[in-house]
């Protein structure tokens, strides 16, 4: 398996002393500033240690260490990508989850695997382009840091994982005359060189060729398809997933940055702002094969730890290039993660393993096309929320991601929830978990579904196109009694709904032009180790992945607690920032360093982390608080624990007390 090891991956040759020398060797700040934002997708705060992440560990130790950091909820990739890109919370950007309802079916375009879906998975360049075009060229409706920086003379690039990379300059995806033009920002991701990908300019193409790098990005197979060395192998309920990190693809992206893009920028003699989005450890933690159908080791096994090392190695290569090119003294490095992570449970509800879910969906057998049971008996299937709600509301279910022909017209496949007999053109469960409930299931510009379920993992989005209060109340009353739910959030248009807080309470209502969910469901979580809850969290998840693999998206503290640190001429050295910070602060802090003031439309903003900057105050004041809903008839209350610094809110955890990891807090001033 030699071909799996990238040429720079040799952690044994790295010592903390060498890394420290690289970081400490900064000279006096120059007038021109460069910035690199390094996002290690899904990197938990507790995963950074001297053994698994020596570069990240030393950067945290020598620079500014954010020990009270936060992802935005829902704790998914694209929502946090939008926060990192714009400095806004989701009520303004409208990027509520990786899978959402944009209000129209995605048309058939090159590179889109599932055309005409009502619930697109937006980690896809062509899908993002479609949504952009529908909403005037920029679905976020806010300027991104990269957009504004390039408009003000900086060279810009976004490199890495498909979806969040493009979101950093999302308007680049909008087509003109049916074609995506070459953007000024360099965008390199999984789709580079492929249908639906963003084109590159001639200078970068020439630089890639000169560096011996291909013009087509490799996939996640590690050149080992259909084996456990394939990082894209997610397995089944009988076959474990991958045992290898995303070595080959990430080495390509890192080489693109250090061997082609940055040298081109250096030659141009202009300052730059770059976002590098590492898919690891996220992708590997999702698909890891160390723990099939077992909660331990879950995402703490050797495969996930190797994925952390892989991301760490990518950062080391970038730092070494900056030092070799004499750029490090003028470059600030801001490291963050989009979210934390939990291990998936498909039926246990607590650490004892004795309490198991009684979801209606667990009462039948689900089989794949060969007749093999694809869900273990008594375990929840993908789409359990759509199935349970359809039964409670007595509505038909259609799969918005699978198309058939019915009565001579294009339609979504019917999902049979009340019979073991499935006819041709029907399904036993929604293929990816999403569901259209009610209506006739025919494909039209405006769906006639009464309820839309966008399944995402640790939380789900519910849309009611007609905003019917009685139906919303019926749904809340049903969900508040389910053993897998821990907290509900409804749009404030419905007023006070017992058992639920509002979306406005958690910054999910704002200036967005995208459809806002009527209801967000947070799923129940628990810790296997009460002494280390954030590294042993387990969450019920609406996902096609298996028990023992990894997921995020919930409102538990393990998912909101990401890794954040910074180093460079503008950040304090050996400083622990104990104040609350979060992903919505990244763009505003970087813009402040670059003397830029990004225009904004919405008001749900992060803040400039002044206390972390050289010559900033030694600390700032902040408070802790909690907010509780009115109790439902069964006594359940949604409670959110939060912190406030100035006008900016940071959300620690939320849910029903005792059913979400990390629900502790108070009201004392810091």
Q: Is the pLDDT of residue 13 over 70?
A: no
What values do phi and psi take at 545, rounded to 5?
Answer: -75, 175
88-112, pLDDT tens digit by residue?
Answer: 999 999 999 999 999 999 986 655 5
Taking the alpha carbons at both ends of the chain, their separation in whole angstroms is 52
Count of beta carbons in the 10 Å neighbourhood of residue 303? 24
In three-state secondary structure terms, 638 is coil
Query: CA 22, CA 16: separation in Å to the nearest integer?
Result: 10
pLDDT at residue 387, as a whole number: 98
What values do phi and psi take at 490, rounded to 5?
Answer: -120, 155
Strand partners, 501: 489
pLDDT (mean) for 638-654: 98
Query: CA 632, CA 509: separation in Å to the nearest integer?
Result: 23
298-346, pLDDT tens digit by residue?
Answer: 999 999 999 999 999 999 999 999 999 999 999 999 999 999 999 999 9
pLDDT at residue 18, as a whole number: 42
pLDDT at residue 110, as a whole number: 59
Query: CA 515, CA 340: separation in Å to the nearest integer?
Result: 26
pLDDT at residue 668, as a whole number: 33
Q: Is the pLDDT of residue 608 over 70?
A: yes
Per-residue pLDDT band for 52 (boundaries 50, 70, 90) equals very high
What values do phi and psi take at 400, rounded to 5?
Answer: -70, -5
pLDDT (mean) for 442-448: 95
pLDDT (mean) for 385-389: 98
Q: Which is it for strands 435-437 and 451-455: parallel, antiparallel or unpaired?
A: antiparallel
130-182, pLDDT tens digit by residue?
Answer: 999 999 999 999 999 999 999 999 999 999 999 999 999 999 988 888 789 99
DSSP state of 632: -
pLDDT (mean) for 275-294: 98
Q: Are 178 and 635 in contact (CB under 8 A)?
A: no
465-474, pLDDT tens digit by residue?
Answer: 999 999 999 9
Strand spans (E) along 1-49 = 34-40
- Half-sphere exposure at residue 235, Cβ-oriented, CA atoms within 13 angstroms: 27
Count the helices and strands in the chain (H runs, E runs). 16, 26
Distances (CA, A) of 511 to 104, 516, 602: 19, 10, 5
Strand partners, 435: 453
Q: Which domains does the chain have, with CATH numbers?
A: 32-92+141-344+556-612 (3.40.720.10), 348-544 (no CATH)
Count of beta carbons in the 10 Å neighbourhood of residue 20? 15
Q: Which is it for strands 581-582 and 69-70: parallel, antiparallel or unpaired?
A: parallel
Q: Is the pLDDT of residue 8 over 90?
A: no
Query: CA 9, CA 66: separation in Å to the nearest integer?
Result: 27
Q: Give me the count of residues in the chain.
A: 670
Query: CA 181, CA 513: separation in Å to the nearest integer?
Result: 25
pLDDT at residue 667, as a whole number: 38
Q: Give yes or no for a cis peptide into 89 (omega within 30° of 0).
A: no
Query: CA 218, CA 477: separation in Å to the nearest integer?
Result: 48
Compute the chain's Rg from CA coordinates.
24
Mean pLDDT of the chain: 93
Strand partners, 577: 66
pLDDT at residue 582, as a whole number: 98
Comparing CA positions, the residue from 269, 261, 397, 253 lying closest to residue 313 is 253
Query: CA 162, CA 197: separation in Å to the nearest integer?
Result: 9
What values do phi and psi take at 397, rounded to 5?
Answer: -120, 135
pLDDT at residue 420, as a whole number: 66
Query: CA 582, CA 564: separation in Å to the nearest integer?
Result: 8
CA angle 513, 80, 106 (to 5 degrees): 50
Contacts of 269 (CB under 8 A, 6+ apart): none
DSSP code per residue over 117-185: -SS-B--SHHHHHHHHHHTTT-TT-S--HHHHHHHTT-EEEEEESTTHHHHTTGGGG--BTTBPPPPSS
- Half-sphere exposure at residue 375, Cβ-oriented, CA atoms within 13 angstroms: 25
DSSP code per residue over 239-308: S--B-S--HHHHHHHHHHIIIIIHHHHHHHT--EEEEEEE-TTHHHHHHB-S-TT-SSSGGGSHHHHHHH
Tokens for 496?
Answer: 């006070």
Query: CA 34, CA 124: separation in Å to the nearest integer?
Result: 28
Q: Are 522 and 629 in contact (CB under 8 A)?
A: no
pLDDT (mean) for 198-214: 98
pLDDT at residue 619, as a whole number: 96
pLDDT (mean) for 632-646: 98
Q: Please state whether 150 falls in left (phi above 0), alpha (psi between -120 and 50) or beta.
A: alpha
- Residue in the block written with tokens 């503008």: 570
pLDDT at residue 417, as a whole number: 85
pLDDT at residue 179, as a whole number: 87
Query: CA 360, CA 224: separation in Å to the nearest integer?
Result: 40
pLDDT at residue 109, as a whole number: 66
Per-residue pLDDT band for 12 (boundaries 50, 70, 90) equals very low
Per-residue pLDDT band for 426 (boundaries 50, 70, 90) equals confident
pTM: 0.95
Tokens for 167?
Answer: 């979101």
DSSP code per residue over 528-539: S-TTSGGGSEEE
Per-residue pLDDT band for 30 (boundaries 50, 70, 90) equals very low
């Amino acid at each position: 398996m030699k071909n799996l090891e990238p040429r720079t991956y040799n952690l044994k040759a790295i010592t903390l002393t060498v890394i420290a020398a690289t970081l400490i060797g900064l000279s006096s700040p120059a007038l021109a500033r460069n910035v690199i934002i390094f996002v290690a997708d899904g990197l938990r705060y507790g995963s950074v240690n001297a053994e698994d992440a020596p570069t990240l560990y030393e950067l945290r130790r020598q620079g500014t260490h954010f020990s009270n950091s936060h992802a935005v909820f829902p704790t998914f990739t694209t929502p946090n990508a939008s926060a990192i890109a714009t400095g806004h919370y989701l009520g303004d950007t409208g990027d509520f989850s990786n899978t959402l309802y944009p209000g129209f079916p995605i048309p058939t375009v090159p590179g889109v695997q599932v055309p005409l879906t009502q619930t697109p998975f937006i980690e896809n360049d062509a899908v993002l382009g479609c949504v952009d075009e529908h909403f005037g060229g920029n679905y976020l409706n806010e300027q991104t840091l990269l957009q504004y920086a390039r408009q003000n003379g900086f060279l810009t690039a976004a490199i890495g994982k498909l979806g969040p990379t493009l979101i950093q300059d999302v308007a680049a995806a909008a087509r003109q005359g049916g074609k995506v033009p070459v953007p000024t920002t360099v965008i390199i991701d999984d789709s580079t060189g492929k249908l639906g990908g963003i084109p590159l300019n001639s200078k970068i193409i020439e630089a890639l060729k000169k560096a011996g790098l291909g013009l087509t990005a490799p996939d996640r197979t590690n050149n080992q398809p259909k084996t456990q060395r394939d990082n894209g192998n997610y397995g089944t309920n009988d076959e474990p997933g991958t045992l290898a990190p995303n070595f080959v693809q990430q080495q390509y992206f890192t080489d693109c940055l250090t061997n082609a893009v940055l040298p081109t920028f250096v030659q141009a003699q202009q300052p730059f702002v770059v976002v590098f989005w590492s898919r690891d450890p996220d992708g590997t933690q999702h698909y890891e094969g160390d723990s099939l159908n077992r909660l331990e080791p879950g995402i703490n096994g050797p495969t996930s730890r190797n994925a952390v090392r892989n991301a760490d190695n990518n950062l080391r290569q970038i730092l070494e290039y900056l030092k070799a090119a004499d750029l490090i003294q003028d470059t600030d490095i801001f490291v963050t993660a989009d979210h934390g992570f939990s291990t998936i449970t498909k039926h246990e509800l607590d650490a004892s393993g004795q309490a198991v879910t009684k979801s209606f969906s667990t009462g039948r057998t689900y089989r794949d096309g060969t007749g093999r049971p694809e869900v273990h008996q008594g375990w929840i299937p993908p789409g359990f929320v759509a199935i349970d709600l359809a039964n409670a509301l007595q509505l038909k279910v259609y799969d918005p991601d699978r198309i058939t022909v019915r009565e001579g017209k294009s339609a979504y496949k019917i999902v049979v929830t009340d019979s073991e007999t499935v006819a041709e053109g029907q399904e036993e469960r929604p293929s990816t978990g999403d569901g259209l409930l009610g209506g006739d299931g025919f494909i039209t510009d405006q769906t006639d579904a009464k309820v839309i379920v966008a399944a995402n993992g640790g939380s789900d989005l519910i849309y009611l196109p007609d905003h019917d209060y009685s139906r919303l109340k019926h749904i809340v009353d049903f969900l508040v009694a389910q053993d897998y739910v821990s907290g509900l959030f409804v749009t404030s248009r419905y007023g006070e709904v017992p058992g639920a807080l509002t979306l406005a309470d958690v910054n999910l209502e704002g200036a967005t032009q995208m459809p806002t969910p009527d209801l967000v469901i947070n799923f129940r979580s628990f810790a296997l180790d009460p002494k280390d809850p954030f590294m042993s969290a387990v969450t019920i998840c609406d996902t096609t992945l298996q028990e023992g693999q990894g997921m995020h998206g919930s409102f538990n503290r393990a998912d909101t607690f990401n890794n954040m640190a910074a180093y460079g001429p503008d950040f304090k050295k050996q400083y622990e920032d104990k104040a609350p910070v979060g992903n919505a602060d990244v763009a505003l802090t970087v813009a402040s360093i670059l003397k830029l003031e990004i225009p904004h439309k919405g008001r749900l903003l992060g803040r400039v982390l002044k206390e972390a900057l050289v010559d900033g105050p030694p600390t700032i004041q902040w408070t802790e608080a909690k907010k509780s809903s009115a109790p439902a008839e069964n006594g359940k209350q949604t409670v959110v624990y939060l912190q406030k610094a100035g006008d900016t809110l940071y959300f620690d955890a939320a849910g029903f007390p005792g059913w979400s990891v990390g629900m502790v807090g108070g009201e004392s001033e810091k």
